[in-house]
Amino acid sequence: MKIQFNTDSSIQGSEKLKTYFTDVISEQLRRFSDHITRVEVHLSDVNGEKESPNDKRCLLEARIEGRKPIAVTSLANTHEKAISGATDKIMKSLDKIFGRLKDH
């Protein structure tokens, strides 16, 4: 499972930040890693320099072998919380997809 990390121009996307978030996402999605070819992470600040609640956005797109990609979005006050929320959402979606496959 490859993780591709993207940030918008308002976020300082240091290698340390990318490595940390990549490790977090990889660990959370580990049980699905045999089925996922790539996860694209799009991290952005909705309002740029302005401060407002829930302006940090994380979009996760998982590319699943033999299936259409799935994508989820989470907004939060921090990038960490946005990534955590998006990871939780994508795990629930993957649980539904692979739970249905087991039922057939």
Q: Which fold has domain 2-103?
A: Double Stranded RNA Binding Domain (3.30.160)
Residue 58, both tokens: 């994380």
Q: In whole angstroms, how far apart are CA 41 and each of 35, 50, 79?
A: 17, 22, 12
Domain spans of the chain, in order of start: 2-103
State the distance between the two ends of the chain, measured CA to CA, in whole angstroms: 25
Q: Which pLDDT tens digits describe the chain residue by residue (104 residues)?
A: 999 988 887 777 677 888 888 999 999 999 999 999 999 999 988 876 677 778 899 999 999 998 999 999 999 998 899 999 999 999 999 999 888 655 44
Return the SS3 of 81. Answer: helix
CA distance 65 to 46: 31
